[in-house]
Amino acid sequence: MPIYEFRCVKCQHKFAKLCSLGETGENLACPSCQAAAPKRVMSSFRVDNPGALAGSRGDSCTGCTSSNCSACRH
């Protein structure tokens, strides 16, 4: 089951909810003001250490000369 983010059309409260695949929000209520049918919004993500993902693309981490992340010692 995916976690979707929603925004209330009445109070603009943004919240996340574990839902069935494809949930539109039509049958939900805002947890803040109880208004019906919040709108699903596009979720974003954040990477705290962009270099940590570098090895999965085949390039090296910042400050590392190896292309194999298991060889890096951060």
Residue spans per domain, the chain? 1-41
Q: What digits encode the pLDDT tens for the residues 11-20?
A: 999 999 998 8
Sheet bearing 39-41, strands edge to edge: 14-18, 3-7, 39-41
Has this prediction a pTM greater than 0.85? no
Q: Please name the residue that has the structure tokens 């019906």.
A: 36
Name which of 46, 15, 45 is nearest 29 in CA terms: 15
Type and span of the H or E element at 4: strand 3-7
Model pLDDT for residues 25-64, shown as the tens digit of each residue: 899 999 999 999 999 998 777 666 655 555 455 545 566 6
Query: Residue 59 is encoded by which pair of tokens?
Result: 């390039």
